[in-house]
Amino acid sequence: MKKIRWGILSTAKIGLEKVIPAMQKSQYCEIVAIASRSRNQAERAALKLNIPKYYGTYENLLADPDIDAIYNPLPNHLHVPWSVRALEAGKHVLCEKPIALSAEEAEALLNTTQRYPQLKIMEAFMYRFHPQWLHAKSWIEEGKIGELRTIQSFFSYYNIDPDNIRNKADMGGGGLMDIGCYSISLSRFLFNSEPNQVTGMLDMDPRFQTDRMASGILKFQNGTSLFTCSTQIDSYQRVHIFGTRGHIEIKIPFNAPNDQPCHIYLQTCSGMEKATFEICDQYTLQGDQFSLSILNNTGVPTPLVDAVFNMRVIDAVRQSSNTLLTVTL
């Protein structure tokens, strides 16, 4: 069976603990190399995960002719620069979210991709590949909850480590970029449209100068989405989706476990319906779907323009918080 040969840019924790092991279980992915700025660190990661090759620079990995695609889990401020360099090296790119530091930077990346029409690039919002989300969206499209009116989402964890990249402003840290982007993405995904007004409020950490809590209201043509995320609140996540005749609850919406079944719930006047999904890994599914788009030369599951639109909303949340005004998009 034909597989896409993958190289991993950096030994980031998400790659080592989540994405690489998941992609190694996939049908269409083969992890052939990993790179770090430290050759020793790359070697340790390669030995631990049984990756054949390792490099002490990102440049050397991109120069490897045996690599078809790269996964970019670098800190946020390096997403666009190294994704561009990967494209220039002739590699397909799966880049972690958020794709950029701003909509302007995301648009610049999108413009760059026009020079490489033969290459695929996608933002890695893995949650969209989990069957619980596909099923929830099908419930909405089938009218199970009537007309979609509002979404409420919450995502938090507690992290005050000054050395963590999520607490470094110059690296694109903060809760809005790290986890608030999920709430924005899922809102656009479920409404299948873009918000026309955005109101945001950020609570900044005085030490890190990053947002430790962010809340937003997104106004769509037919409804609203309200979210809060935080990097300094006890870990919790939940999504509620409300319609005119029912609502859906997703209990583990983002970090869906890969070792136990997942459940979502539909409540209507007829009672409660529970949908159960067999054990799967959303990172495996993401890797396979992206690899298939390369093998079959088809469009990627989520076009890069979606990442640009998501960044526009993120920018609007920031602008609204800074000006204390609602932003019209």
Please list the active-site residues. 97
Q: Could you give the CA distance from residue 105 to residue 88 in angstroms, rounded to a whole number? A: 17
SS3 164: coil
Q: Is 283 exposed, middle or buried (0-12, 13-18, 19+ CB in 10 A)?
A: buried
Q: Is 19 exposed, middle or buried (0-12, 13-18, 19+ CB in 10 A)?
A: buried
Q: Could you give the CA distance from residue 155 to residue 216 in angstroms, rounded to a whole number? A: 13
Q: Strands 53-55 and 197-204, how do they pair? A: unpaired
b/e burial code for range 188-220 (CB count within 10 A of at least 16 → b): bbbbeeebeebbbebeebeebebbbbbbbbbbb
SS3 223: strand
